Amino acid sequence: MAHAEDVEVLHWWTSGGEAAALNVLKDDLAAQGIGWVDMPVAGGGGEAAMTTLRARVTAGDPPTAVQMLGFDIQDWAELGALANLDDVANAEGWDGVVPEALQRFSKYDGHWIAAPVNVHSTNWVWANKKVLDELGIAQPQTWDEFVAAMQKVKDSGKTALAHGGQAWQDATLFDGVVLSVGGVDFYKKALIDLDPEALGSDQMKEVFDRMTVLRGFVDDNFSGRDWNLASAMVINGDAAFQIMGDWAKGEFLKAGDVPDQDFLCFRVPGTAGMVSFNSDQFAMFKVKDPAAQDAQKAMASAIMSPKFQSAFNVVKGSVPARTDVPNDAFDACGKKGMADLAEASANGTLVGSMAHGHANRAAVKNAMYDVITAQFNGEYDSATAVEELVTAVQDAQ
What does the CA dihedral 102, 108, 114, 118 come to, rounded to 10 degrees?
Answer: -10
By the rule CB under 6 A, 320 interacts with ligand GAL: no
Closer of 174 and 208 to ligand GAL (Cβ): 174
Size of residue set near ligand GAL by CB under 6 A: 13
Closest C-alpha to 153, from 58, 219, 55: 219
Question: What b-and-e string marks burial along 361-378, b requiring 16 or more CB atoms within 10 Å of the CB?
Answer: ebebbebbbebbbbbbee
Among 146, 39, 101, 64, CA closest to 319: 101
Q: Which of residues 128-167 bind ligand GAL (CB under 6 A)?
A: none
Beta-strand relationship, 35-40 and 6-11: parallel
Q: Which of 13, 187, 263, 285 binds ligand GAL (CB under 6 A)?
A: 13
* 277: contact with ligand GAL by CB under 6 A: no
| Smallest separation, CB 66 to ligand GAL (Å) | 13
Q: How far is the CB of 79 from ligand GAL (least distance, A)?
A: 21
Site string for ligand GAL, 236-275 (x = CB under 6 A): -----------x----------------------------
Among 74, 159, 169, 278, binds ligand GAL (CB under 6 A): 278
Question: Minimal CB distance to ligand GAL: which residue?
Answer: 44
Candidate residues 28, 29, 41, 46; the one interacting with ligand GAL per rule CB under 6 A: 46
Distance CA 11, CA 186 (A): 33
Nearest to 150 by CA among 218, 211, 247: 218
188 binds ligand GAL (CB under 6 A): no
Are the C-beta atoms of 139 and 133 separated by less than 8 Å? no
Report in angstroms how near the CB of residue 356 gets to ligand GAL at its nearest: 5
State yes or no: residue 45 binds ligand GAL (CB under 6 A).
Answer: yes
By C-alpha distance, which of 127, 141, 139, 134 is closest to 156?
134
Sheet containing strand 65-69, strands side by side: 35-40, 6-11, 65-69, 280-284, 114-116
Residues numbered 14-43 forming contacts with ligand GAL, rule: CB under 6 A: 18
Instruction: Determine if 72 is a binding residue for ligand GAL (CB under 6 A).
Output: no
Q: Which is nearer to ligand GAL, 247 or 380 (CB)?
A: 247
CA-wise closest residue to 99 among 271, 357, 323: 323
Instruction: Kindly state the smallest distance separating residue 18's Cβ from ligand GAL, in Å.
Output: 5
Identify residue 280 by its one-letter amino acid code.
Answer: D
Instruction: Compare residues 159 and 278 and give the one whose CB is closer to ligand GAL.
Output: 278
Binding site for ligand GAL (CB under 6 A): 12-13, 18, 44-46, 69, 120, 227, 247, 278, 280, 356
